[in-house]
């Protein structure tokens, strides 16, 4: 389809990343919480995503998430 005013050039594919942050709550200890997070990650791996990253854990008031992605 030719859109009015569109630039005419070869189409380029640009992949885009997506980071989703969740705040979850459950009962139990840290080991139980980690087990649940690993189960959630496995569920994502079973879906047709191109890439699922590793689990990254931050503790307390750590504000290193900005530094992690640089």
Q: What is the pLDDT of residue 38?
A: 95
Task: Give pLDDT tens digits for 3-50.
Answer: 555 555 566 666 677 777 777 788 999 999 999 999 999 999 999 988
Where are the domains positioned within the chain? 30-68
Give the other-Cβ count within 10 Å of 65's Cβ.
11
The yes-or-no verdict on residue 2 having pLDDT over 80 is no
Q: Work out the average pLDDT over 61-66.
A: 61
Residue 22: its pLDDT value, please?
72
Q: Do 36 and 42 touch, CB atoms closer than 8 A?
A: no
pTM value?
0.57
The length of the chain in residues reads 70
| Burial (CB count within 10 angstroms: exposed 0-12, middle 13-18, buried 19+), residue 10 | exposed
């Amino acid at each position: 389809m030719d859109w009015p005013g569109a630039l005419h050039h070869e189409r380029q594919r640009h992949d885009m990343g997506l980071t989703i942050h969740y705040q979850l709550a459950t009962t139990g200890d840290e080991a139980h919480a980690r087990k649940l997070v690993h189960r959630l990650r496995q569920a994502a791996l079973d879906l047709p995503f191109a890439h699922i990253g590793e689990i990254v854990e931050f503790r307390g008031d750590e504000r290193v998430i900005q530094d992690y992605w640089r």
